[in-house]
């Protein structure tokens, strides 16, 4: 299985170009948003927005280098909300112009969007481009794919089904029979069945404008953090949708591509390395986006301490976590204090 990884601007220590070069055999594509464009994450280029020519110049230079390595490029037009312009003629023309301008410089394999309107505009104007339904559309049933089949060529499966082999099998069979493609997001740290998702996705879509307002101060970067900060809720970390690097092999019969969330990750190289190798020694939360790692306050989830039957148990359970104590027992096994780890290192043992 190969990887689809998200682009972020380089820093003084690393760049996505170097990461792709180092793990070229494992990486099939890079997905990205354009500077100033609202998407499922904060706008690329920060406060500079669309008027930041430096951010765009760096992006295009790096995408060109990535493309020259034979890695495909996938554009994100996946904001949860486009406001009053959502179905306007002007917005439709802006989509066409964005694609014309980009294709004049670099090749493009696909566009991922949350908007059926955007998908329709692209399919009519650029039928050669693959249109993909974003994971944020929460498409997880055959019926849901049927509704969208006229304008979408592929679907990034609702992440809540990552541990449901029977549902994946059904979705894959329908996609194969109808010439569609199925994808999944392997390392989302977001809460399963998240009640905050619609609110948060819309807030992110309007982040550029919202950041200029006199806002009520928030104690955490997103609404779920307050819930996850309480120790009695830490078991929810284990009940989310991420797939460990060691378990990626179980998905090869359904997917040829695993999408990794790395656009906002503090260490994308670590994430790519772990999933490319299929193993990871360290804090599992260091691989997810979002991470929540700071909330554990001196503890980690030791990825090497997960039981051997973790995949089988979570793939066969009914996901009725309020009636089950399995993840509670696993949490006791994998939750390790940093102090304990340091003692183990000093004592010469492996923790």
Q: Note the pLDDT tens digit of each residue in 163-221.
A: 999 999 999 999 999 999 999 999 999 999 999 999 999 998 998 888 899 999 888 88
At residue 8, the pLDDT reads 95
At residue 342, the pLDDT reads 77
When pLDDT is averaged across residues 132-137 and rounded to a whole number, the result is 97
Using alpha carbons, select from 283, 272, 287 the residue that is nearest to residue 335: 283
Percent of all residues in the chain with a pLDDT value above 70, rounded to a whole number: 95
Is 204 domain-assigned?
A: yes
* Residue 96 confidence (pLDDT) above 70: yes
Is 234 domain-assigned?
A: yes
Cis-peptide, bond into residue 3, ω within 30° of zero:
no
Is 299 domain-assigned?
A: no
Is 18 domain-assigned?
A: yes
At residue 351, the pLDDT reads 41
What is the number of domains present in the chain? 1
Range of the domain at 56: 2-282
Mean pLDDT of the chain: 93
Q: pLDDT digits over 300-326, tens only?
A: 999 999 999 999 999 999 989 999 999
Task: Answer yes or no: are the C-beta atoms of 235 and 268 closer than 8 Å.
Answer: no
pLDDT band of 48, cuts 50, 70, 90: very low
Percent of all residues in the chain with a pLDDT value above 90, rounded to a whole number: 85
At residue 39, the pLDDT reads 78
Three-class DSSP category at 184: strand
Rounded distance between C-alpha atoms, residue 165 and residue 317, angstroms = 11
At residue 207, the pLDDT reads 87
Is 290 domain-assigned?
A: no
At residue 10, the pLDDT reads 95
Is 74 domain-assigned?
A: yes
At residue 345, the pLDDT reads 57
Residue-wise burial string across 43-67, b where 16 or more C-beta atoms lie within 10 A, e elsewhere: bbbeeeeeebeebbebbeebbebbb
At residue 339, the pLDDT reads 85
Is 307 domain-assigned?
A: no
Angle of helix 116-125 relative to helix 89-103, nearest 10 degrees, comes to: 50
Rounded distance between C-alpha atoms, residue 170 and residue 51, angstroms = 45
Task: Answer yes or no: are the C-beta atoms of 242 and 188 closer than 8 Å.
Answer: yes
At residue 47, the pLDDT reads 47
Is 332 domain-assigned?
A: no
At residue 346, the pLDDT reads 55
Helix (H) or strand (E) holding 154: strand 154-156
CATH assignment of the domain containing 32: 3.20.20.60
């Amino acid at each position: 299985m190969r990887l689809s990884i998200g682009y972020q601007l380089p820093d003084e220590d690393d760049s996505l170009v170097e990461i792709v070069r180092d793990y070229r055999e494992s990486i099939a594509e890079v997905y990205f948003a354009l500077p100033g464009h609202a998407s499922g994450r904060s706008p690329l280029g920060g406060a500079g927005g669309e008027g930041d020519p430096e951010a765009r110049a760096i992006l295009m230079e790096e995408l060109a280098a990535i493309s020259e390595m034979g890695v495909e490029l996938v554009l994100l037009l996946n904001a949860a909300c486009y406001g009053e312009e959502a179905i306007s003629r002007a917005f439709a023309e802006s989509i066409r112009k964005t694609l014309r301008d980009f294709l004049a410089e670099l090749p493009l394999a696909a566009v991922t969007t949350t908007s059926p309107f955007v998908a329709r505009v692209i399919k009519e104007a650029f039928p050669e481009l693959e249109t993909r339904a974003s994971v944020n559309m929460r498409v997880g049933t055959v019926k849901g794919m049927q509704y969208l089949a006229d304008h979408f060529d592929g679907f990034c499966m609702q992440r809540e089904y990552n541990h449901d082999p029977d549902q994946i099998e059904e979705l894959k069979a329908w996609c194969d029979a109808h010439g569609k493609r199925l994808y999944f997001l392997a390392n989302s740290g977001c809460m399963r069945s998240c009640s905050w998702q619609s609110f948060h996705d819309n807030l992110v879509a309007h982040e550029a404008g919202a950041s200029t307002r006199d806002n009520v101060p928030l104690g955490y970067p997103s609404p779920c953090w307050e819930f996850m900060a309480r120790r009695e809720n830490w078991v929810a970390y284990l009940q989310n949708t991420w797939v460990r690097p060691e378990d990626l092999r179980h998905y090869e019969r359904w997917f040829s591509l695993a999408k990794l969330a790395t656009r906002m990750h503090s260490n994308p190289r670590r994430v790519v390395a772990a999933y490319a190798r299929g193993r990871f020694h360290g804090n599992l939360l260091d691989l997810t986006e979002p991470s929540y790692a700071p909330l554990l306050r001196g503890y980690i989830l030791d990825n090497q301490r997960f039981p051997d039957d973790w995949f089988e148990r979570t793939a066969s359970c009914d996901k009725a976590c309020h009636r089950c104590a399995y993840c509670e027992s696993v949490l006791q096994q994998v939750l390790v204090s940093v102090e304990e780890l340091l003692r183990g290192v000093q004592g010469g043992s492996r923790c």
